Amino acid sequence: MVLLIEIDGSYCEGGGQILRTAIALSGITGKKTRIYNIRANRDPPGLKRQHLTGILSAKEICDAEVEGAEIGSKEIVFKPSTIKSGKYRIDIGTAGSITLLLQSLIPIAVFSDDKITLEITGGTNVQWSPTIDYYSEIFLYFLKKAGIDVKLEVFRYGFYPKGGGKAKIKIFPWKNRERIEFTERGEKKKITAVSIATKDLKNAEVAERQVKGFRRVLSCEKEIRYVDSYSTGSSITGIAYFENTRMGSSALGERGKRAEIVGREAGEKLKKEIETDGVLDRYMGDQIIPYMGIAGGKIVVSEVTDHLKSNIWVVEKFLPVKFEVRGNTVEVSTQQ
């Protein structure tokens, strides 16, 4: 019996992904875990506030014991106990990403005996993370296909630097575990651009101009929303709908950057995804790996990224499974 799982946080991409996946699988399996060299390839290394918030939230849900949980820490020990259903209020305290926080918490929550509700305050559309719109339209779509029911409601958007976005996430137990098979796209049905901007940008028609830029690359339907937020900001998320899958991309507005350029960048990213033979885009590819480790499956991704390789490595540390990567096809089998 393995008494302690050791995870080197400097492996491969060496970022927060390894930490989030390790915490999730520790919570699921009940295995005590030591994670060291945390975010070793980032500047500065160690825990930032959003990572610490994720660990402490998982601690509460798993009734865990934790050592080393403080900002800047490069090593923690996480010893989980029982996953507890109920309602949890979480405040990241910055514009730290809500969607990255959920990468640790949703896998744990689906193994609860009853529903878990998370009320989270933080960043909804911020750098280096999926937008909340991508999460809603793409990530949760794939979870539902795998038999996982998650409801997401956004009350306020959170942009950098103040954050303050508010979202409620209801996560139900994973009762009907489906093997995760995404190997055929089917016919393309439509492309939609979801363009978000804060209300103070309405007179400048920022959301409309983002769509205009997107349409210079791809024809699309549009969904335009002006929203409340504590900080000025905008984003655009492109979604390609196929018979059997969805692919996405996003771009964030920046001070001094024309809205048309933001939209064009999102369009170019999505066009690149569509032109591959992938069924899952490069962002969804790594996020589905922990669920494949549990349920089994086979996927075709647009790109085998370092994040995907990192997640495979961590999952194989915790579960008796073996992933095989052949070209852009990823398949998992149970080890005897």
Catalytic residues: 307
Helix 16-29, helix 49-62: angle, nearest 10: 0
CB of 283 within 8 A of CB of 129? Answer: no
CA distances from 313 to 9, 27, 82, 183, 329 (A): 11, 17, 25, 22, 16
Buried/exposed 239-261: b ≥16 CB within 10 Å, e otherwise: bbbbeebbbbbbbbbeeeeebbe
- Provide DSSP, 202-250: TTTTHHHHHHHHHHTTS--EEEEEEE--SS--EEEEEEEEESS-EEEEE
Distance CA 155, CA 228 (A): 9
Helix 98-109, helix 16-29: angle, nearest 10: 20
CB of 156 within 8 A of CB of 228? Answer: yes
